[in-house]
Each structure stands twice: as structure tokens, then as C-alpha cells.
Amino acid sequence: MLYLEDFTLASEDQEWAFFIDQKSRAYSDYYPFQLFPAKQMPTLRFEPITILYGDNGSGKSSLLNVIAEKLGLARGALYNRSSFFEDYLALCDYTMHVPLPRGSAIITSDEIFNYMLDLRALNQGIDAKREEVFKDYLDHKFGNFQYHDLADYDELQKTLETRRKTQSRYVREHLHKNVTEQSNGESAMHFFATRIQGDHLYLLDEPENSLSPSRQQELVRLLADSARFFGCQFVIATHSPFVLALPGAKVYDLDAVPVGAKPWTALPEVRVYAEFFNAHRTAFE
């Protein structure tokens, strides 16, 4: 599915006109102004999967944030927003003939990292609670409890319960089901598998973070299937060769001037990998 058809950033002339109109020159940072003109960025034309490739500092994350804010996409993490962000967004434009589905979102590595931290904290809290329930069971089953009056009724009920139940059953029934603690890669993949829904537009900022090469390939299969069979559109900022190799993806090289679309196999970082493994190919034979 194609929701976002194209996106045009503010031109150099528009940026210049904006600065001329400013009555104050007290600001030293006009971000995201002055970031893209030198790159000679064309109107970006999108496919069901479009990738923004570039080294750190190339502006790919900033570009995703500009697109996300212009479209009003949901987000789960903070981002770098200056005093002039709204002024810049007003100069950008896009084409979209299919209504943007509710729930379309930008997903950043910060959001995934926060999810993993929350999951870890939840598990740690449950582990601590489990120890409390273990102790509670033993105290009531083997303690010298004596019933005196109605104020002791709740404690009596616990004592009777421990005597007719095993420890594991007692703990299981008094404790919320534990969230399985996974590795960072497993947690990240679980996040993507549950977060990505059919018929949505998603902007993904370096989704390969926290993923091993094998997990990155698993993510690639999820994204490819979501676009091909479930009506999703993706715009992805990455420099992972596995993600860059997504079948049918259109890749923009943000390190090139002017910025343009290239085959993923022609990208400098991918060539570095290819040359390295080619130089060591006999070690794999």
C-alpha cells in the first residue's frame, strides 16, 4: 500500500526568505533549517518500502522526524525539537491520496530501548514479589498461628489455604503471571511483532539497534511480509546491510550530493562488508 507518495523539504530559497523575515538574529541554532540545502535534496518519492541510508550525522533521523511531525504521526519517545521546528514544517509539503490510517507512527530506537527497560523492571518487580509470597506461604504453613478473635480471620484463611495447596500453586495464584524475561534481541523482536499492525504507515529509525545479524534478518522478513501481504508502508532510516537488502526497497543515499536513489549493493558501507568477506572468503571454505 502507498499512503505517503512524496515529500518535499523546504527549498534553499524558502529558507533564505525565512531568515530575511526574522526580526531577531539572537539565535545560534535554527535546526532543522540549514541542514538539508547543501545536500540538494530532491522531492522524495516513496514506494511501499523506502530506505534512507547515511552515516551518522547524515540527517536521516532528522528527516524522519520532519516527515513524522508534518504528518502528525504518533510517537512513543521524545526527539530533538527546536524553537523553529514548526516554522520549518510549514515550508514542507507532501502528497497523500489515501487517507492516513489512525495508529500510523514513527518508531525510534529510544522507544524500543524504553520498552526493554520497562520489561526488565517489570520482571525484577515480579521476582521480588515472588520472594514475598514464598515467605508468606512458609510462615503460614509451618508457623505457630493461633486464632484469637475475628481480627485474625484473614490470617486463619491464609493458614488453611497453605495447608491444602502446594507451594507452587499458592504462589502462582497469588502472583500475576510472570512476563518472560528475554534477551534484548528477543524483546526487540517481540516489540516489533506486537507493535506493527496491518494497513498502517510506519517510520522506523534504525530498527536494527539491539538486534543480532540473525535477528535483523528475522526483522527483514517481518517488514517484507507486512508490506507485501498486510498493506503496510515503511520509511526506514538505517545503515544495516540486512535491512538495506529488503526486497523491492527504494534506497536514498543521504551521503551523496545530490541525494538520489541507488541500488543497495552500490552503497559505500555495503561495499566495505562485501570487500571484507571477499578478502576472507577462503576462511569459510
What is the per-residue pLDDT for 153? Answer: 59
Percent of the chain with pLDDT over 90: 55
**What distance in Å separates the CA atoms of residue 105 and residue 180, rounded to the nearest whole number?**
26
At 124, the pLDDT band (50, 70, 90 cuts) reads low
Residue 81 has pLDDT above 60, yes or no: yes
Residue 123 has pLDDT above 60, yes or no: no
Q: Residue 119: which of 76, 205, 178, 195 has the closest Cα?
A: 178
What stretch of H or E contains 67? helix 60-71
The pairing of beta strand 6-8 with beta strand 93-95: antiparallel
Query: Which tens digit of pLDDT belongs to each residue from 192-248?
Result: 988 899 999 999 999 998 788 999 999 999 999 999 999 999 999 999 999 999 999
- Give the Cα separation of 119 and 134 in Å (integer): 23
For 191, other C-beta atoms within 10 Å of its C-beta total 20
Nearest by Cα to 141 from 118, 119, 158, 125? 158
Give the model's confidence band at 117: pLDDT under 50 very low, under 70 low, under 90 confident, else very high. low
Report the predicted TM-score, pTM, of the whole model to 2 decimal places.
0.77
Domain ranges of the chain: 6-110+205-218+235-284
At 2-49, the pLDDT tens digits run: 999 999 999 999 999 998 887 666 566 788 999 999 999 999 999 999
Count of CB atoms situated within 10 Å of the CB of 173 = 10
